[in-house]
Chain A
Amino acid sequence: MEQATLIVLNSLVYGLLLFMLSVGLTLIFGMMGVLNLAHASFYMLGAFLAYTVSVRLGFWAALVVVPVMVGVLGAVVERYGLRAVHKHGHVAELLFTFGLAFVIGEVVPLIWGRNPVPYRVPPELDFALFQVGANAYPAYRLFMMAVAVAMFLALYLALARTRLGLVVRAALTHPDMVGMLGHDVPKVFTLVFGAGCALAGLAGVIAGNAYTTEPGMARSLGAIVFAVVVMGGLGSIWGALVASLLIGFVQVGSISLDLTVGAALGRLGLAVPGIFTDLWSISIARVAPVVPYLLLVLVLAVRPRGLMGTRSA
């Protein structure tokens, strides 16, 4: 029972974190048709910058300042880099964001080194909130969830209630039309790209100290975020939420399961194939990291629009 509660809580935290990361990506793709391959890199930058800022100015300062820094960087990148590439087509845009991810991936260890940095949870939040059986559940996790929910609400209100939000929503499905109505669509793009990166940076600030902050974090999280965005539907915020929670649950749950792949197949009533015997004796926990890639491929192959997407990949 306690294990189930723990799994649910951890899934929620992880899922909401994925949501924070993927909502920016899905907005950017939905509006601009660009899949920002460097999105997880901005998340990583957020975490590392938060470490440096929090060491000097404290965590709370980092919480406010770092997303802004990352957002501004994203806006600059869009304005002077992506915009110039836009006219060469989607492949060129992908190549640009790929190059960007590559470069950020090299610059981060250049500045901070190749080892994890000691980015710690602030002492104010570093206590056990309640007990789940024998385990103490850290208050910081709840704080993470709170921030994610607050971010979602803020985003929802901004998009649903403000004029700018209306323009952004319209541009999500009909960018050309919005341009013809007289809105400065390039500026909206820059804003959305910057905001998306800021959200990724915020996720980095929050999560960097709960999970490790090291130069490989972009790569490991990157594919999962793409899987979430693709599954939830490119351009759909609700879809991103649903998919994040789903994948979060699958990831956390499968890591906690003490089963091998073969045993799991058996429980589902399927026979174990004779070839590749190594594979079936592997524990599900080891296979878990692979599942997002599998989902990514399957969803794209079968239904590129995802669960609730506005745009097909």
Chain B
Amino acid sequence: MLAPAHAAVAPSRAGGTARAALPWLLAAALALVLPHVVPGGFGLSLLCRMGIAIVFALSFNMLLGQGGMLDFGHAVFLGLGGFLAMQAMKLMDAGAWLPLPVLPLAGGLGGLLAAIAAGWIATRRAGTAFAMITLGVAELVIAVVLLLPGTFGGEEGLSGDRSTGPRLLGWDFGTQMQVYHLIAAWAWGCALLMWLYTRTPLGRLANAVRDNAERVSFLGYDPARIRWRVFALSGLFAGIAGGLAALNDEIVTAGTMGPEASSAVLLMTFIGGIGTFWGPVLGAVLVTFLSVALSTITDAWQLYSGLLFVAVVVWAPGGLSGILKAHAPLLRGGRLRGVVPGYLACLPGLVLAVAGVGGLAELAFRLQAVRNGASPRPVLGMALDPGAPWPWLVALALLLAGALLLRRTAPAARAAWQEASAASAVP
């Protein structure tokens, strides 16, 4: 082989660290500014939800995107962490000296212990078997929680008061603004820790296990052990998210750890993009926002998020962050212009198809309302009669027209994309 001509070794430490720290400083600044920009209590409460979702989704992606493990019951760790944090809050309410900011640690402990236990069983297997075990374990835990009303409060769950703790610098954390800062600080800290984890040996080995577990075993590590550790850490952070939720809502129920929550985190993480670190953050913010915003104008928002999820699985498995990341080289190389016409050409078809689907869904909902005796809400300001055939036909026509248009325009867009990305590919 060629005589080694050593290239320069890694870039200087100082410069590299500063560049890496920049996004984190920006994020911190953003977190401090946002509550003053966003309208009122509603916006603040939304931001709090987003903060919790960010931690939860990032913990989920430690398993899925980074470790190749699909966990169908991740909300169990959120819930159990929440319950433990709530027990701590009740202790605080009863007079124990427990500063509120410390309570998420109790959540983390709950999530960690639960994940160690569940992980011991689940991580013996990989792939589909692992996913099914997590499904079974989650249902078991929920069932047991409901069967132990003494510990978990039964159907009503456990509730507490977050403002009874010792004051910190005059704050009792009773107001949403104060809670927001607490959540934001914890979310920032957890995200940083989870990012640092990706730079550790365990983090890298988790990636290796994801890519090729068998080879990992032939390189001296037991893949099951690696998965177990990662699972435990993921449970830890999910538990912290649960603790934050307990603080925010001042109530934890069996529903907190139910399949709706587990589905939600899967959807938001995947839509955001499992292939990057920040994809889940994007997904958490977006899906939380959509679920809140959409639920005020339509009852079908769950259906829409489900359809979006399926669309992402089939056509864009890298999620939003994957799409953005794939276009970054085009942006840098100035080739973005080449794909824009193709994309714009697809837009009408897409809009029509979405309008068609939305129309059908909204009409169906209104039909339900009419059957139940209520009067139907107007769709986008238009009063539609779901009993008449013509709105249905229009919606169907929109859908078909959109689908046909997309079929016509998609190949050209795809070709343009392939050409542009091949040209800017790293040789």
Which residues in A have some Cβ–Cβ distance to B below 8 Å?
Answer: 33, 35, 81, 84-85, 88, 90-92, 94-96, 98-100, 102-103, 106-107, 110-111, 113, 219, 223, 226-227, 230, 276-279, 282, 286-287, 289-290, 293-294, 296-297, 300-301, 304, 312-313
Contacts and interface: CB of A to CB of B under 8 A. Distances in A.
Contact of B309 (A99, A278, A282, A312): A99
Contacts of A287: 147
Nearest to B371: A113
Given A102-B306, A313-B127, 5 more contacts: A81-B310, A81-B314, A85-B317, A296-B132, A313-B125
Contacts of A226: 132, 135-136
Contacts of A111: 364
A99 B304 CA distance: 11
Interface stretch (B5-13, B138-146, B334-342): B138-146
Interface in B336-362: 361
Contact of B129 (A84, A99, A103, A300): A300
Given A110-B368, A279-B144, A312-B129, A99 B151 contact: no
A293 B313 contact: no
A84 B314 contact: yes
18 contacts: A81-B314, A91-B64, A95-B70, A99-B310, A102-B306, A102-B309, A103-B306, A103-B310, A106-B300, A230-B132, A278-B149, A286-B147, A289-B143, A293-B140, A297-B121, A300-B136, A301-B125, A313-B128
A278 B151 contact: yes
A113 B143 contact: no
B137 interface: yes
B153 to A, nearest CB: 12
Contact of B313 (A33, A90, A99): A99
B139 A95 contact: no
A294 B140 contact: yes
A290 B140 contact: yes
Contacts of B309: 99, 102
From DSSP, what is the main secondary structure of chain B's interface residues? helix
B263 interface: yes
B317 A88 contact: yes
A278 B136 contact: no
A297 B150 contact: no
B264 to A, nearest CB: 10
A290 B125 CA distance: 22
Contacts of A312: 129
Contact of A94 (B70, B259, B263, B365): B70
Contacts of B137: 293, 297
Interface in B96-132: 121-122, 124-125, 127-129, 131-132
A110 B303 contact: yes
B125 A300 contact: yes
Nearest to A115: B372
A277 B151 CA distance: 10
A103 B312 CA distance: 14
Interface in B272-314: 300, 302-303, 306-307, 309-310, 313-314
Contacts, number: 123
B243 interface: no
A110 B300 contact: yes
Closest 9 CB pairs of A and B: A313-B129, A99-B310, A296-B136, A297-B136, A106-B303, A102-B306, A290-B143, A103-B306, A293-B136
Interface in B43-88: 64, 68, 70, 72
B131 A94 contact: yes
Contacts of A100: 310
A300 B310 contact: no
B133 interface: yes
A99 B372 CA distance: 29
Interface string B139-177: 110011001111100000000000000000000000000
A223 B148 contact: no
B364 A35 contact: no
B183 interface: no
Contact of B303 (A107, A286, A294): A107
A103 B311 CA distance: 11
B387 to A, nearest CB: 15
B205 interface: no
Give the residue among A81, A88, A99, A279 with the most B Cβ atoms within 10 A. Answer: A99
Contact of B125 (A102, A103, A286, A304): A304
Give the residue among A81, A98, A227 with the most B Cβ atoms within 10 A. Answer: A98
Given A91-B68, A110-B365, A312-B129, A85 B313 contact: yes
B266 interface: yes
B270 interface: yes
